[in-house]
Amino acid sequence: MDKNALNFASLGDDFFSPIETQTLKNAFLIHKNQALYQKLEIGLDDKTLLKVASGTAKFQNSQPIASIYAGHQFGYFVPQLGDGRSCLIGQANGHELSLKGAGQTPFSRGADGRCVLRSSIREYLASIAMHGLGIPTTEALTLVGSQSEVYRENIEFGAIVMRTAPSHIRFGNFELFASRGQIVQVKKLADFVIRHHYPQCLGKNKYSDFLVLVIKRTAKMIATWQAQGFEHGVMNTDNMSILGLTIDYGPFGFLEKYDPKFICNHSDHEGRYAFDQQPGVALWNLSRLADALNSLISDQQIKAALAQYQGYLVRYYSNLMRTKFGLFTKDENDNQLIGDFLNILYKHKKDYTNSIRGLSNLQNLAADGHYKTWLKSYQSRIEQDKNINREALMNQVNPKFILRNYLAEVAIRKAQNDNDYREIGVLFDLLSKPFEQHLSMEKYTSEAPDWAQDLQVSCSS
């Protein structure tokens, strides 16, 4: 198998449309993910890379394509969606390369196929932040700016992110064919995904084994979101990766002051995708995927597969939370202890990330009266784990740095107002190693300043 041939293209034209990318005016490279660039063995000089990353030149003569999918958006089925502003431009070392913002496709539905600089900066930084946290995600290779004018509420500049993943296939790709009764295509797509991405399922029950593994990976992704305080914001089934990767960064947010009802997407008036809804929504989305696979898997097997979700989720989540709290042996009261701590955070509007990072240093915690009673139980509990190097182990899973909304906003404003892109690099370096001390960078752990209390983000831009 040629690891640089775009495998997805072998599916045939029921699955995508060939497109021409539309380049940007005076495109320039703002940032490149050097580690990823090396991992993918791209081997282009920056000048050629810019041409590829801005949609000016093809990657290794590969034909760009836009894939077609459907999806449940906010609970309602939309029979046809697709890559309206993204496209696959090739494959490198087993990873698809996708440009986001390179112009219209047959699936743009009248929209311009562009991305503005601010949303591209957010996606670029979110991708490295999630990767740094060890959360399964698509990764961004390049961020390109330009002088192309893009019309939103104001005139803004267009930008392109090149994102990469072993596959960008979504639950919605299956839903499209299933909803049209095209079971041959459903099977072809499932066979493709299993062959390339779930080869361990190639056996007697391959389709149900595949569904079980998608459920398992999705549960793991959601568990890490919940433990590290990430809210996606638009968990439509067209934004759910078949590989269990976090995909399509839009109005996402990290929890700052702890609030399980946090809603980062300003357009989500009902709170359908609020922070504490994510585990349930993922199961609902997996059920829609299972419906789309019902020509391949018996109802009984589907039921049994979906029934495993909760167990996986709870196991992954509680293991991670126990490590975050430095609980290395098991005690039946641990959930209660963790829950009590979160209640204190909620009641006193405390920062989720900083408070949990602070657990490795009990002296600091003792200085805050709100923790007084809780700290007594905690101290006696961790006596049990005495000989363990708590602080180091906890600091490996409790980040010091997250992509706070205001930090992204500072980088965005400098870029938009002063053509100064340096802050993007600063945040990139910090967020790629969020567990390390970076002692000269303490100010990046600060909570949102007053001017940033009401920052709002909403759907696609």
List active site positions: 238
- The angle formed by the CA atoms of residues 153, 275 and 68, to the nearest 5 degrees, is 60
What DSSP character marks residue 409?
A: H
At closest approach, how far in Å is the CB of 306 from ligand AMP? 25
At closest approach, how far in Å is the CB of 312 from Mg ion? 25
* 248 scored as a contact of Mg ion (CB under 5 A): yes
Choose among Mg ion, ligand AMP, none what residue 112 binds, the Cβ cut-off being 5 to 8 Å by kind.
ligand AMP
Closest residue to Mg ion, based on beta-carbon distance = 248
* 123 scored as a contact of Mg ion (CB under 5 A): no
* 285 scored as a contact of Mg ion (CB under 5 A): no
In angstroms, the first-to-last Cα distance of the chain is 38
At closest approach, how far in Å is the CB of 238 from Mg ion? 5
The residues with which 18 forms a beta bridge, in sequence order, are 65
The torsion of the CA quartet 264, 268, 270, 272, rounded to 10 degrees, works out to -70
* 239 scored as a contact of Mg ion (CB under 5 A): yes
Q: What residues have CB less than 8 Å from 172, skipping those under 6 apart?
A: 69, 70, 71, 72, 81, 236, 237, 238, 240
Kindly report the number of other CB atoms within 10 A of residue 358's CB atom.
Answer: 17
Residue 436: closest CA among 424, 448, 445: 445
Residue 390: closest CA among 419, 361, 421: 361
Of 4 and 179, CB closest to ligand AMP: 179
Segment 140 to 179, residues that bind Mg ion, using CB under 5 A: none
Using the Cα atoms of residue 123, residue 124, residue 129 and residue 131 in order, give the sign of their dihedral.
positive
Q: Which stretch binds Mg ion (CB under 5 A): 43-51, 148-156, 236-244, 350-358?
A: 236-244
Of 81 and 382, CB closest to ligand AMP: 81
Residue 88 CA, distance from chain mean position: 18
Task: Output the six-digit token pair for 31.
Answer: 């940032």
Helix ranges (DSSP H) in 110-157: 117-133
Choose among ligand AMP, Mg ion, none what residue 98 binds, the Cβ cut-off being 5 to 8 Å by kind.
none
Of 96 and 248, CB closest to ligand AMP: 248
At closest approach, how far in Å is the CB of 440 from Mg ion? 38
Distance from C-alpha of 142 to C-alpha of 53, rounded to nearest angstrom: 7
Of 192 and 249, CB closest to Mg ion: 249
At closest approach, how far in Å is the CB of 78 from ligand AMP? 9
Query: Quick one: angle between helices 334-347 and 309-324, nearest 10?
Result: 70
Choose among Mg ion, ligand AMP, none what residue 436 binds, the Cβ cut-off being 5 to 8 Å by kind.
none
Which residues contact ligand AMP by CB under 6 A? 81-85, 108, 111-114, 234, 239, 248, 250, 459-460
Q: Given the structure tokens 């585990």, which residue do they identify?
A: 279
Of 83 and 209, CB closest to ligand AMP: 83
Of 287 and 460, CB closest to ligand AMP: 460
At closest approach, how far in Å is the CB of 364 from Mg ion? 41
* Binding residues for Mg ion (CB under 5 A): 239, 248
